[in-house]
């Protein structure tokens, strides 16, 4: 079993994700490719000391990139949308942004 900081790689901070945080109380993370929804929920609960209501997961396919005549692919990754329960405090990591 993986540790919580191995499951959650980093938070994704874009304009869309910050609006989702304010309106829907939903946080967005880049997570390990082999992590399940249950593991992601437990990792968020232990790392941020909050309760999770729902987890949605998306597999993001890597994009093709070119540099001159050389072609390659960016790495694929997994993205998780984690909705917190009503009445839960805001996560301090995302406050002040």
Domain assignments of the chain as residue spans, ordered by start:
4-86
For the chain, the average pLDDT equals 90
User: Does residue 97 carry a pLDDT above 60?
Assistant: no
H or E segment and range at residue 45:
helix 37-48
Q: What pTM was estimated for this model as a whole?
A: 0.86
Block residue for tokens 């999770």: 52
Q: What is the predicted pLDDT for the residue at 82?
A: 95
Q: Read off the pLDDT band of 95 (50, 70, 90).
A: low
User: Among 2.60.120.330, 3.30.70.330, 3.30.830.10, 2.60.40.420, what is the CATH number of 4-86?
Assistant: 3.30.70.330
Per-residue pLDDT, 86 = 87
Better-scored residue on pLDDT, 96 or 58 = 58
C-alpha distance from residue 51 to each of 30, 32, 40, 56, 90 (Å): 19, 20, 12, 15, 11
Q: At residue 45, does pLDDT exceed 70?
A: yes
């Amino acid at each position: 079993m993986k540790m919580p900081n191995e499951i959650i790689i980093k938070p994704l901070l874009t304009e869309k994700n910050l609006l989702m945080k304010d309106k829907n109380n939903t946080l967005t993370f880049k997570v390990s490719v082999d992590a399940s929804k249950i593991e992601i929920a437990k990792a968020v609960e232990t790392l941020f000391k909050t309760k999770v209501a729902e987890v949605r997961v998306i597999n993001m396919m890597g994009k093709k990139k070119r540099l001159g005549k050389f072609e390659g692919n960016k790495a694929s990754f997994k993205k998780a949308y984690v909705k917190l329960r009503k009445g839960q405090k805001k996560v301090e990591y995302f406050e002040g942004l």
